[in-house]
Structure 1
Amino acid sequence: MATAVVTLLFLSGLFSCRCLAGQYHFVSDLLNWTEAQKYCRANYTDLATITSLEDHTRFTKYVEDLGYSLSIWIGLYYDIKWSWSWSLDGSGLRQTGYSGWSSGEPDQPSYEHCTFMYTGLWGDRSCSDMLPFLCYDANEIAANQYILITQPKSWNNAQNYCREHHTDLASSRNQEENQRLAIKSDSKNVWIGLFRDTWQWSDNSKSRFTAWGPKYPKEGGFNDKCAAWYASNHGWADDLCEEKKAFMCQTPPSRVVKVTIRTDSPLKLEDPAVQAAIAEQIQQKLHGQRVTWRQQPDGKVFHEKKNKDAKRLEKRDEL
């Protein structure tokens, strides 16, 4: 059987494009944060994400033009379970799939946001505590990449030191790295590069940009786990997620993409289950961004196109 070339014509997908701004959609219904998130995901893409000063300025102007003067839910929330990230590359424990927490740790989510190591086990501590620390230097050979600095510093000052003199604080993203750090730590309590980045975006966007209003997020406000934009200061504040507020949804810009798939076996391309399976695979490649199909003028989504070898075989059979 000749190999068939299946052309998926006009895949209409809601792709994220950094060069283009997404579209905000204001909803005046008063809902709690979870209800607002569900509404946005069902009717748009997600709650609004603000990852740059440009986004923040555009968001603020949009609300001002609406004339709305009360607080508005945005997609930022306080994440406990998956809030730990590595200073070196921003990867989280969910991505690496490895952790070395000691039994009962982490145990103080409200104020212990930095990680230390002792004999290969991790614990959380206040970032202001003074400890020795381990740096990582990417320019050194493997045997010399981890450097123990015995002068105690806070976690933030240790991070600054490592970035200035080496590459960054040391990461322990797998068992091998953890063993190497345990040996290098010389049985001391030492800072490593894992920190709690407690505020996350609903659509999983990664950004270090913040626009908190004065005195926000509230110190010790562990029960205030959702963020809102406030007209009074054009900044963010943390509030109880159960409060009822208007909210801002978002859709990213759309792109139309033509995709060609080669297959040795026939596919029932008009079968909704087949279409859903293909869309799911594409969405995984796009980190969960939504994909939809667009019908052609003849009512079909897919058209089958045979390759040159298949055409030659058919012509030979005709002869």
Structure 2
Amino acid sequence: MKIFFVGFAVFAGGSLAAKHVFVSEHLRFYLAQQYCQSKYTDLSPLTNDLEEQVFRKSVTDGQSGWIGIYWDDNEKKWICVGGVVYRDQAWETSPGNIDRVYWTREKWISKNGWTLSNFFCLNLIVVQEEKTWEEALEHCRENHDDLTSLLSETENRLAKREIQNPTITQRVWVGLRFLGDTWMWVNRDPLKFQAWTQTGDPDQQCPVQKRCGALSKQGEWENRDCQEKLNFICV
């Protein structure tokens, strides 16, 4: 009876609109990035199809602007915020001074980074209250949107960066939960990217007690006892 109740509560509600924020201010790329880093997390990274699917759910018709992909002249590659190389082969050539990526619903456009444009920010909210996993889930859904999913190496790196403050617990809850016979994101995002710590612990694959997922300050996922009290990340 207890397990059924938890499973039911875990999947109550949970829209995706709060993960990305549209900012209607006309700024150059580097100033837009500074704005996102000061008020949110960073410019929105769109490094795979799943990230863009989630992103599109938060964007209304007519919105367009900078996203977190730029050309690195030293690396001679397109780079995502967080330092991950963008792997779409269509973008693997030097763009000259057309070196930043501007998103529209119809297509992506490369533009000069000095162009004044609206932009999109990724919004990961680190809550420095120590709660059990279920208390953290309730807090996120009451005050924000949900416990966060981490859909790519870029999102994982940006979340890791946000929790390095020594006042934050050594690991933080994210929206990972083992239910039935598998790990899943509680907001129903597909679990494609994974960053589990390489311990070889069989309890990670089929946990008996450690059935909730946390992100460590090393950027690795760990399965933990759901009753442990940690800080957490909402969107």
> TM class, shorter-chain normalised?
0.3 to 0.5
Q: Provide the TM-score with structure 1 as the length reference.
A: 0.34
- Higher-Rg structure is 1
Taking CA–CA contacts closer than 8 Å with sequence separation of 6 or more, which of the two structures ends up with the larger relative contact order?
Answer: 1
